[in-house]
Amino acid sequence: MQSTLQKIIARFPERSFVVRSGSDTRYFVLKTWHQLFGVVSFATLLLWTGVASVGFSWNHSARLTVEQQLAMTIEENQAFIAQLENDQKNAYELRQAFDDEVQKNRQWSSRFEEIRSLSGSVLNEATPANVAVFIPWFEGQLALRVRAVEQANEDLTELVMDMSESVAEISGHSPPESVETVGAWLTDVAGDLTEAYETQSTAMEVLHDSMTAALSKGFATIDGTPLADPEFAGFSPSFGTGGPSLEIAGDNHVFERFQDRSDRLMTLSQDWKALQSLLACAPLAPPVDYYNLTSDFGNRKDPFTKKPDWHEGVDLGAWPGTRVRATAPGVVTYAGHKGGYGRFVLVDHGCGIETAYGHLKSIDVKKGDTVDYRDTLGKVGSTGRSTGPHVHYEVRIKGKPVDPYQFIEAGRYVFKEQKLTVADAK
């Protein structure tokens, strides 16, 4: 070891260096230890440089690795931050969605309570408070109501078709084929019925006017006679109160106006029937075709006593043997001799009207016979309390004698074809 060191020291003997600068000369002596120090320093520097280079190289690779790891870490951190931000955004959106769902749930709960309340009110039943129970319960109730509505629709359809068939029978139209065509079908029927209504209304007005004219003419034949008294006739003529056309301008429904017309025509019809019945009973003709009015109805001078007397009929002078005829259809209730009337016939014409025929020469009927207008009852004579050939003629209403000449005068409007020769003895 020592010999090696000595060998190394021997390699570095002292050395002298001369440095000249102009006229100056300087000497530098490098001693052995200086040289060793220099070599050691250089070697140390070289070693340090090598070690440093190796360390630098190694540190550079490590630094690159660290930088890469750092870059990766930063990238991962950035991704994590981005993910965190995205998660925060998602968390916010989820929170908003959750709040929305909570609000919807509250609204749904409120609506559910309203539905429960309304369902209970409508169905008049207690409703389940639990949604899981309420839903199937409500579905069942809804199904029941749907079936009920469907049944009601079927019943309504059947009713509509039945009514349509009834309308078809009334209107004379063919019934609709289905409920879908009922609307259009009713429109057509309504048009036809409106036209028919207008036609019938016009016809009813014409009929009203015709019946009014006929009633007026017919009532005129008994006007001025006791038969015109409403208490006796049993009706007050309504044909003078105006026709159906006076009711058309009102605001009443069309059927009410139609009913008004119908009621008026019905009243006129009833008056017409009553008048016809009355005219059928009314003795509106004289009992003989040719006569002289020899004695009036009422107060007169008795031809035998010459004193005032009450005459319950009229005396119609005629040739002996002249036919005495029934002045209206009726039933003979008396036929025979009756005191001062001589041969006497009493005929009941109905309606409370009777006619009497006295002083007959002969009688051609018997009690119970049915006679028609102008059937022969007997012949003019002068039997009983009589001063000459004539027929004593009476008209009795409900047993009370009335003036027969009122009826004879009224009959002149009815029997214009008869040319009566009347000599008034007043």
8 Å CB contact between 327 and 286: yes
Structure confidence at residue 143 (pLDDT): 78
Confidence class of residue 287 from pLDDT cuts 50, 70 and 90?
A: very high
Separation between Cα atoms, residue 24 and residue 286, nearest integer Å = 211
Q: Of the spans 21-30, 114-123, 266-275, 372-381, which averages the highest pLDDT?
A: 372-381
8 Å CB contact between 378 and 361: yes
Asked whether residue 307 falls in the same domain as residue 415, the answer is: yes
Q: Which of 155-164, 275-284, 381-390 has the lowest mean pLDDT?
A: 155-164
Q: Is the pLDDT of residue 144 over 80?
A: no
**Secondary structure (3-state) at 101:** helix
DSSP string over 203-248: HHHHHHHHHHHHHHHHHHHHTTSGGG-HHHHSS---TTS--GGGGT
Structure confidence at residue 226 (pLDDT): 77
Asked whether residue 272 falls in the same domain as residue 378, the answer is: no
Asked whether residue 348 falls in the same domain as residue 309, the answer is: yes
Residue-wise pLDDT for 39-74, tens only, equals 778 778 777 777 777 766 776 777 777 778 888 888
| 389 in a structural domain | yes
Q: How many domains does the chain have?
A: 3
| Domain finish residue from 69, 86, 107 | 107
Separation between Cα atoms, residue 297 and residue 310, nearest integer Å = 8
| 140 in a structural domain | no
Q: At CA 399, angle to CA 394 and CA 402, rounded to 5?
A: 45
Q: At CA 296, angle to CA 290 and CA 302, rounded to 5?
A: 120
| 113 in a structural domain | no
Cα distances (Å, whole numbers) of residue 379 to 287, 322, 358? 10, 5, 10
Separation between Cα atoms, residue 250 and residue 189, nearest integer Å = 25
Asked whether residue 250 falls in the same domain as residue 316, the answer is: no
Over pLDDT 70: what percentage of the chain?
Answer: 78
Antiparallel, parallel or unpaired: β 291-295 and 24-30: unpaired
Q: Read off the CATH number of the domain in which 346 is found.
A: 2.70.70.10
Which token pair is 33?
A: 């230890």
| 331 in a structural domain | yes
8 Å CB contact between 349 and 283: yes
Structure confidence at residue 119 (pLDDT): 64
| 75 in a structural domain | yes
15 Cα distance to chain centroid: 146
**pLDDT higher at 369 or 148:** 369
Q: At CA 152, angle to CA 147 and CA 157, rounded to 5?
A: 125
Q: At CA 230, angle to CA 228 and CA 233, rounded to 5?
A: 70
Structure confidence at residue 103 (pLDDT): 84
| Domain finish residue from 107, 135, 169 | 107
Contacts of 401 by beta carbon, 8 Å cutoff, 6+ apart: 297, 312, 313, 394, 395
Separation between Cα atoms, residue 269 and residue 280, nearest integer Å = 16
DSSP string over 309-362: EEESSEEEE--TTPEEE-SS-EEEEEEEE-GGG-EEEEEEEETTEEEEEEEEEE
Q: How would you class 359 by CB atoms within 10 Å of its CB: exposed for 0-12, middle for 13-18, buried for 19 or more?
A: buried
**pLDDT higher at 407 or 25:** 407
Query: Domain span at residue 199?
Result: 181-281
Among 95, 93, 135, residue whose Cα is nearest residue 115? 135
Which token pair is 147?
A: 């079936």
| Domain finish residue from 235, 260, 281 | 281
Which token pair is 234?
A: 């049993």
| 115 in a structural domain | no
| 326 in a structural domain | yes
Residue-wise pLDDT for 194-219, tens only, equals 777 777 777 777 877 777 777 777 77
What is the model's pTM?
0.51
8 Å CB contact between 316 and 286: yes
**Secondary structure (3-state) at 305:** coil
Asked whether residue 389 falls in the same domain as residue 322, the answer is: yes
Asked whether residue 246 falls in the same domain as residue 369, the answer is: no
Asked whether residue 271 falls in the same domain as residue 297, the answer is: no
Q: Which of 92-96, 144-148, 227-231, 388-392 has the lowest mean pLDDT?
A: 227-231
Cα distances (Å, whole numbers) of residue 422 to 359, 413, 418? 20, 15, 12
Residue-wise pLDDT for 150-169, tens only, equals 777 777 777 777 777 777 76
Which token pair is 150?
A: 């469907």
Structure confidence at residue 288 (pLDDT): 95
The dihedral over CA atoms of 232, 234, 239, 240, expressed in degrees to the nearest 10, equals 50
| 128 in a structural domain | no
Q: What is the mean pLDDT of residues 318-340?
A: 94
Average pLDDT taken over every residue of the chain: 78
Separation between Cα atoms, residue 208 and residue 243, nearest integer Å = 6
8 Å CB contact between 300 and 382: no
Antiparallel, parallel or unpaired: β 323-325 and 376-380: antiparallel
DSSP state of 201: H
Asked whether residue 102 falls in the same domain as residue 30, the answer is: yes
Structure confidence at residue 396 (pLDDT): 93
Asked whether residue 329 falls in the same domain as residue 412, the answer is: yes
The dihedral over CA atoms of 269, 272, 276, 278, expressed in degrees to the nearest 10, equals 120
